[in-house]
Structure 1
């Protein structure tokens, strides 16, 4: 096989390669073996007719289409390997010359990984992010603890108020007809949560226990059920229970109940310590992201559309998985989830472009800096993964061996990216944010 690059425009490379008559003859024989069982020839059992008999009856070209496919599948990867092309999509193949008894000339337009023009990536200057914990943050966290330890108690001496928790029965009607999915028994509802159709919850305020109410609503135009979009409906509602959230006092007693501390001051101090550690961690993540974002944005690269579309599909699958993990599974949710995922993918292009560009930029820096992962580092990381999965001692060696065989490349790439990010952040220059004075804002 002889191959050469004819031209390169942007990320499209045109390569030319040849298929010798000897190689093509082998491919014709493969084609014969593939289709012989589908060809009927009088005097022969199906699949037993020799190749030359079939060619005599139907012509030699009967096998050529399949033979060309076999030959290209054989020779095209060799041409790609010879020119060290990093291919990202299927080639567009054209037969340039095909004459009996002569070598075949084939061209292929193939999209390859783009070249990355890196900016100066060492000593990048970015504004420092340093999150601070305030007294308000601590109070907010204590209020969350208070909410978590609230009691729900029944009230019988007053009607429904905003914020109450109700237990209700309801039946929904459009006209005189009760519609599917509009009926429930002992349904929980928090007034003011806006979890029901707009206008439903407000009409229960001021009503009493055991009271039967008719609630009139109009379904939104974007409601998920086509049969109910924009329709007026009446719900017949019975209130069985009215409950209210009773919050504990934020005091020493609460501290004793929810922690190992004997006083509120000790709980506050521990809460602040925890929040400050989270602030440090979040600040580091933000600073890392700011450095990488700066470098990625400054790099010049023409991103192939095929990579963007693949990333959009990947983001869409992750988004759908989040729904499934939250319990939205089964056919009744499929159309709803698909609609959400499709909407998400429509708006995911910018994120997909950035993700692809960041991946290519980091890979280019790894290659330029010749960042390597040692065998010891790889083994240590796989041991960490094994420990995170809480693998039992008697299965540990088998697990690590399996990881080395199946996922070593992925783990190595992960470690390389971690190293390059540490290097880039370690070389970055962090400057304090400019303090804008009130007078400057008013001007």
Structure 2
């Protein structure tokens, strides 16, 4: 049974989420949706651990790669405040990074996964080393790009967090957690946005009830077999043509990963900005509602519209080396998928296990979803695609036209007596609609 609030226009969304929650086994989920700056869905249900304790509104869930979107947003705020530029060499702010042919790698290349530094398997000897920040940043400093930076993209599944995180720490001279609290959590009054969970918040966390980590690894007879099973798990067994398993393994499965317990206090306490954010759906959705609304929400402007426009520009459209699916990387965000709806102007970040958050500036729509059961791919699974489709359909049904022209400065005029489709909205945003006679438009 779900608890929380659902606007009547979004009733179908609750039905879809309810179908995602296990009935006869542990597991729970939470979903929050913002439309035009207003919270229209805030629901949760199921259990947060194997003991059957109920999921609550304040439950924090391990959200894996969904963390990357939060880390990216933090860096964008610093860019907007003038601390750095996207085309700065990383070594300008992090001098030790410049060794081993990395001196010309730019901040932009980090954000759109073109730095060639995804091969964590060759950088460290054991996955538990990921919990040591200084060890990981030193390992990255000593690493050489696996391809010419900027020549292609490869998903930096784990290294992304230290690349972006250390850059943030060098610029601010503060810890990643301190900057996250000061620049995002405190201004937006978010009580569910942690990367490196404090002991005082440990009682709120959900237990990952289906893990590819420590549990079950003892039965694997060889390290190579365990690696392959791990890879199958994190790609959900996808049969993708032209996939280079060695590159995928190198980026996603560090040595010893099968023995890493994602539920351990050590892992949850550590700061791994690519993979161990502990979030509530409320906090994720509110942050992305700000991104969907031009960088401002409830009178709080964290990112200017000019910077938001740059953030959302697609940087590459090609197949990646690690995950050969065109991710259409923006600056720190990927494309959004949904069942049955167009989402080409949406952006966000999904995570292994099914979590995710995204923003749609055309529809002024944003969601945050957390859960603790299932596996999926490194960029989510079918559950969030189903939820996304239902959310978009509900949003499109509840108003005649979106406020797109007001946001883009075109003028608040829309065709009379018909709904504005997503295709029309895209044309409005891009400024390519034909001129219309005044008699054909209605002021809103």
TM-score, normalising length from structure 1?
0.19
> Which structure is higher in RCO with an 8 Å CA cutoff and minimum separation 6?
2
Query: Larger % of helix: which?
Result: 1
TM-score, normalising length from structure 2?
0.19
Max Rg structure: 1
Query: Larger % of strand: which?
Result: 1
